Amino acid sequence: MKIFCDDGSTNVKLAWFEKGNITTSLSTNSFRKGWKVEGLGSNQTYNYELEGQKFTFDEVSNEAIETTHIEYQYSDVNVLAVHHALLKSGIPPQEVSLTVTLPISEFYTPDCQKNELAIQRKIDNLMRPVRLNKHEGFVITGVEVMPESLPAVFSQLVEDEVGALEKSLVIDLGGTTLDVGVIVGQFDDVSAIYGNSAIGVSMVTQAALTALKMASSDTSAFVADELIKRREDDAFIRQVVNDESKIPLVLSTINSAIEKLGAEVVDDLAGFRNVNRVYLVGGGASLIEPAVKQAWHNISHKIHVMDTPQLALVKSIAKFKEE
């Protein structure tokens, strides 16, 4: 079976075809060393073994292994995250061949050539077998690698009837990296690529974690990310912030981190102000939309946040490869 997999540093996004329809699923990367007790609680336990080392899926542990760095792409946790996403997708365990993604700054060398070394490193990493304790797992038989960001807009450019001389900036803001590229026309040419692995939603996550710690609520990045998404949901806020007197502090920390993130993205992309269109993808798209609209105010009607921005890349790759 062929499965398309945007294996980001914080979330793995899968897409595949079921009776001709595209289907997607999303899985969070939150693992820690060691195994969990099996058979207690209503959730299935996922205990993994990779090259003799034991890992377990743990959404709430404050010892969750950090994944928001570029080396993640070639790490143990990356392999586990992909296997975990496959197991959670509802697809029965079997042999699969995958199309995965690498940040644009890894996929291409600084002079715009394919970085074959990095691509092979990623393939070798994912081909390592993973054993799932007491359950049947997936076997990865082949891996193909695509760059992040650009492929997300393949069909949108056609739909928008982009002219041959128009330049479109694609901004993919994920947990760890900012990946951008400039496309000429409807993919007639790629005129620039740029990646910054120091700008990502994790800047907001880290700020939220620090504020939560001050509110006596040490937790995982997963919980902090949920809080960022649901920062207007009072009931949820009370569930995760123990010291209620610190709720305003937690919220204002999150909001100013979001503003700072937007400002950094816009600053970092100052060299791309002359494009004709902007497309936003990745989990961070909605967080930076206001800042991007302000910075490119002359073309604000041509700034497009893709539908389900977090899944846009994997869906687009699936459609493109299936044709």
Of 57, 15, 26, 17, nearest in space to 174 by CA: 26
58 makes contact with ligand ATP (CB under 6 A): no
Residue with Cβ nearer ligand ATP (76 or 148): 148
Residue with Cβ nearer ligand ATP (100 or 132): 100
* Residues facing 56 on adjacent strands: 32, 47
| CA separation for the pair 141, 125 (Å, rounded) | 12
137 makes contact with ligand ATP (CB under 6 A): no
Shortest gap between Cβ of 21 and ligand ATP (angstroms)? 22
Q: H helices of 218-282, where? A: 221-229, 234-240, 247-268
Of 200, 57, 199, nearest in space to 65 by CA: 57
Q: Residue 238 touches which of ligand ATP, Mg ion, none (CB < 5 to 8 A by kind)?
A: none
Shortest gap between Cβ of 103 and ligand ATP (angstroms)? 6
147 makes contact with Mg ion (CB under 5 A): no
Shortest gap between Cβ of 217 and Mg ion (angstroms)? 27
Count of residues that interact with ligand ATP, criterion CB under 6 A:
21
Among 5, 8, 32, 98, binds Mg ion (CB under 5 A): 8
195 makes contact with Mg ion (CB under 5 A): no
Which tokens sit at 261? 């993130």
Inter-CA distances, 144 with 100, 102, 107, 109, 138, Å? 6, 10, 12, 18, 17
Whats the size of the chain, residue-wise? 323
262 makes contact with Mg ion (CB under 5 A): no
9 makes contact with ligand ATP (CB under 6 A): yes
Piece of 46-54, 80-88, 130-138, 223-231 that binds ligand ATP (CB under 6 A) = 223-231
| CA separation for the pair 97, 59 (Å, rounded) | 27
151 makes contact with ligand ATP (CB under 6 A): no
Among 282, 291, 292, 303, binds ligand ATP (CB under 6 A): 282
At 133, which amino acid appears?
Answer: N
Site for ligand ATP in 169-198 (CB under 6 A): 174-177
Among 3, 4, 10, 217, binds ligand ATP (CB under 6 A): 10
Of 175, 83, 70, nearest in space to 115 by CA: 70
Long-range contacts of 106-112 (CB under 8 A, 24+ apart): 106/70, 106/73, 106/195, 107/145, 107/146, 107/147, 107/148, 108/147, 108/193, 112/190, 112/193
Count of residues that interact with Mg ion, criterion CB under 5 A:
2
Shortest gap between Cβ of 251 and ligand ATP (angstroms)? 14
Applying CB under 6 A, which residues contact ligand ATP? 8-11, 148, 174-177, 200-201, 205, 225, 228-229, 282-284, 286-287, 310
Binding site for Mg ion (CB under 5 A): 8, 174
